[in-house]
Amino acid sequence: MIQNKNIIVKKPKIRIQFGDGYKFVEKTVTKNRLHTVCEEARCPNIYECWERGTATIMILGDICTRACGFCSVKTGLPNKLDKMEPIRTAMAVKKMALNHVVITSVDRDDLKGDYGAEIWAETIKQIKKYVPKCTVEVLTPDFKGYRPALEIVFNANPDIFSHNIECIERISRKVRAQAVWKRSLDVLKQSVDFGLRTKTGMMVGLGESKDDVIDVMSEIVDLGVEIFTIGQYLQPTKDHLSVERYVDDKEFQYYKQRGLELGFKVVESGSLVRSSYHADEQARLVSEKV
């Protein structure tokens, strides 16, 4: 627990459950030789989401070329591209009978041609081909801001395009040293300008103030981003960034209220909220508000 101005705020509790839904998702992912960010990033919601029959599939392997201070995904030299990964992903989505799927990936800065964008596009196309009623949400890296790579993904027409800013600008260099905060904003703006429904998210508890968070939300909504998520940073291992503070429920509710007042169509705010947490419900809500 951490003390915030004489108020003790405890680390949020994670509910662990291994029901039939969890076991089915685990079996499907394993059988199709896929990776999930749920496992690789040690997501606290893996038990709840898998029990609900949802998972965030991670493409382009499980080794990232970046080493962000908050993330537990393995870092190093990735393996060669797996050209069959898109079809296996689509088959897993079909097997799980998903109505909405979130696809994410590691950063592949080693792929100088398109940073993995072609695999991204093919994955979207294969899901739409074999599971046409399933909406596809993508949570992408920044592709180094390379416009041709972004357009490859844009042209595959995902239903929701998401790219996370992760934190406020002032601490961005500490949190994700190989990324550029303004570049992430530019990626989001390009998505909006292309006509895609756009989403982003951030963590709190890394040294920001409440005013910092509201300033960021104001800047993001002005870009035309419709969905915003905000959750508590949890230190995955002792080698990662330390938690500066645990945010209480009242503050998370305040962020949600202010975000909606600022103009976001959907705001998901809570201690265990992550980018893909209840993403299917967010997609439904934002569609209803068109």
State residue 6's pLDDT score. 47
Domain architecture of the chain: domains with CATH: 14-288 (3.20.20.70)
State residue 40's pLDDT score. 47
pTM: 0.84
State residue 96's pLDDT score. 81
79-89 confidence digits (pLDDT tens): 888 999 999 99
State residue 61's pLDDT score. 85
49-59 confidence digits (pLDDT tens): 555 556 678 89
State residue 276's pLDDT score. 75
pLDDT < 50 stretches in the chain: 6-7, 37, 40-41
Tokens of 18: 């291994």
State residue 228's pLDDT score. 97
State residue 1's pLDDT score. 55
Cα(first)–Cα(last) distance of the chain, in Å?
Answer: 41
